[in-house]
Amino acid sequence: MSNTVKIMSNAMQAELQSFMAGVEARNPGQLKFQQAVSEVAESLMPFVIENGKYKEAKILERMTEPDRIISFRVVWEDDKGDIQMNRAWRVQFNNAIGPYKGGMRFHPTVDEDTLKFLGFEQCFKNSLTGLPMGGGKGGSNFDPKGKSDAEVMRFCQSLMMELSRHIGEDIDVPAGDIGVGAREVGYMFGQYQRFQNRWAGVFTGKGLTYGGSLTRKEATGYGTVYFCENMLNHKDDSVKGKTVTVSGSGNVSIYAVEKVTEMGGKVVTMSDSGGFIYDAEGITAEKLAFIKDLKEVRRGRISEYVTEYPNAEYHEGEKPWGVKCDIALPCATENEINAEAAQTLVDNGVMAVSEGANMPSTMDAMHIFVDNGVAFGPAKAANAGGVAVSGLEQSQNALRLSWSAEEVDQKLQVIMKDIHQKCVTYGTDSEGNVNYVNGANIGGFVKVADSMLSYGIM
C-alpha cells in the first residue's frame, strides 16, 4: 500500500473503495482506464471530501464518464486491391474548459479502454497548461508499420470522411500520438479541408507550410526535460552533468534526448519495441542526427544504431531500466516501468523520473518512486508541453500569424514552470516534500471541477 493511502483515514479509504467499485462496475474489463482513474482518485479523495461542494455535486463521478464516444469502421483498399477494415474511435471526454483536445493514436493495441484512459488523463493535463482546452483522444487499431505511403494515405482519408463530422476548431481539435506523425497529420488534415471546403485550425502538429507551429514537433520532449529541470532546481540541482536513460525512439524520445544533451546531460539509452541500445559514451547531437534520419525518414529499427556505432550495445527484447542512471525519462508507451524496474532504478540511485509517455509507470512503480523520495513527474504534468504548444498553434491559426521558434520555446518554458509551481502549491506536504502526483491531480482537477459547478446540473 502506498504512503498516500496509508495516511488516509478509514472513512476515506472506504469512500475510495466504494468510488472505485462503481468505476469498475461501469467500465468492466477496462483495466487501463481503471488504473488511470484509480491513480487520480487516490490523490483527490481527501481533497474532495475536505471540499464538500465537489462531493455533493458528484464531480468526480461525472468527470470519470466521457461526454461521448464515437466509434466507427474505416474501410480502405490496400496496394493489392484487397479490402481492409479497421476500427476507429474519438473519445470526447470533457469540454468544460475548452474544445476537446488530444491526439490520435494508430497502433494495433488501440481499443476503447486505451483511448478512455488517454482522454481522461488529457482533461487534467490540458487544464494544468492554463490554456482553454478540454480533454479528448482518438485513434485506430490500424498499424502504419510496413504499409506503403499510398496505403497510409487511403486509410487516413477514409478515417477522416467520418471523423470530419465530429471535429472543428471550436469543437474538437485532434493532433498526433503514437503512429501519427507529420505524414499522417498531413493526409488527415488535407482530407478535412478538401471535404469541408474550408481551411480551419482543426488539427495541430500540422506541417510548417500549412499552419503548423514552430517547436510543436520538439515540444513534448523538450517540455519533459524542462519539467525535470524544474524538479531538480527545486532541490538545488540540475540536469547538467547527469546520466540519463530514455526509452523509445519516436517523436517524444528524440527531442527529449536533444534537450538533455543541449543542457549538458548525457543520454545513454534509447529503445523501440524490439529492444534498447546502450551507448556508454553518450548519444551526442551527431549520433542523434543519425537516429532522426533512421526513425523519421527511413523508418528503420533502433538496432541499426550499433552497426553505425559499434562501441554501443543492443539488448534485444529488453527495456533500459536496468542501466544505472541519475534520471529516467520513459518516453515510449504505457506501463513500461513495472514495480521490479522501478525498484531497480531506485536501487541504482535514480534521483528523478519525468514521464514523457502517458502512464508509463504502473501504480506500484509510481508508489515506489514516491515512497523513496524520487522526484517523480507524472505524465499529465511532465509531458504537457506537447499539448501546450498545440494550444499555441491554435492561437496562431486563429490570429493568422506565426511566432518564431524562440518565442514559442520561451512560452513553453514559462508554461512548464507554471505547471511545476501548481504541483508544488497543491502537492507539498507538512514536511516540505513535494508529491508531484497529488500536485498534478489536484492542480488539474480544480479548474475543470469549478467550471462544471458553474454550469449547474448537467
Kindly list the residues in this chain that would bind ligand NDP in the complex (CB under 6 A).
176-179, 181, 220, 248-253, 272-274, 331-333, 356-358, 383, 386
Rounded Cα gap, residues 94 and 123, in angstroms: 7
For ligand NDP, the closer CB: 346 or 357? 357
Which CB sits closer to ligand NDP, 46 or 99? 99
Q: Of 8 and 185, which has the nearer Cβ to ligand NDP?
A: 185
Considering the complex, state which of residue 154 and residue 319 has its C-beta at the smaller distance from ligand NDP: 319
Distances (CA, A) of 294 to 276, 283, 302, 312, 448: 15, 14, 8, 16, 41
Which residue, 148 or 273, has its beta carbon nearer to ligand NDP?
273
- Round to whole Å and give the CA distance between 265 and 432: 27
Q: What is the smallest separation between the CB atom of 47 and ligand NDP, expressed in angstroms?
A: 25
- Output the nine-digit C-alpha cell for 51: 471540499
Q: Integer distance in angstroms from the first to the last C-alpha of the chain? A: 36
379 SS3 class:
helix
Task: State in angstroms the smallest separation of the CB of 357 from ligand NDP.
Answer: 3
- Contact by Cβ (8 Å): 355, 378: yes
Selecting among 116, 137, 147, 319, the annotated active-site residue is 137
Closest separation between CB of residue 268 and ligand NDP, Å?
16
CB 36 within 8 A of CB 359: yes
| Rounded distance between C-alpha atoms, residue 440 and residue 419, angstroms | 8
Active site residue 55: no
- In angstroms, give the least distance from the CB of 304 to ligand NDP: 12
For residues 223 and 382, is the Cβ–Cβ distance under 8 A? yes
Sheet of 327-329, strand order: 313-316, 275-278, 266-272, 243-246, 327-329, 352-354, 375-377
Min dist CB 401 to ligand NDP, Å, is: 23
Closer CB to ligand NDP, residue 216 or residue 447?
A: 216
Classify burial at 234, counting beta carbons within 10 Å of its beta carbon; exposed 0-12, middle 13-18, buried 19 or more: middle
Q: Distance between CA 415 and CA 106 in Å, rounded?
A: 28
Whichever of 41 and 359 has its CB closer to ligand NDP, that residue is 359
Amino acid identity at 375: A
CB-nearest residue to ligand NDP: 250
Name the minimum Å distance from CB 311 to ligand NDP: 22
Question: Do 225 and 262 form a contact (C-beta atoms < 8 A)?
Answer: no
240, containing H or E segment: none
Torsion 380-382-385-388 (CA) sign:
positive
* Min separation Cβ 272 and ligand NDP, Å: 3
Catalytic residues: 137
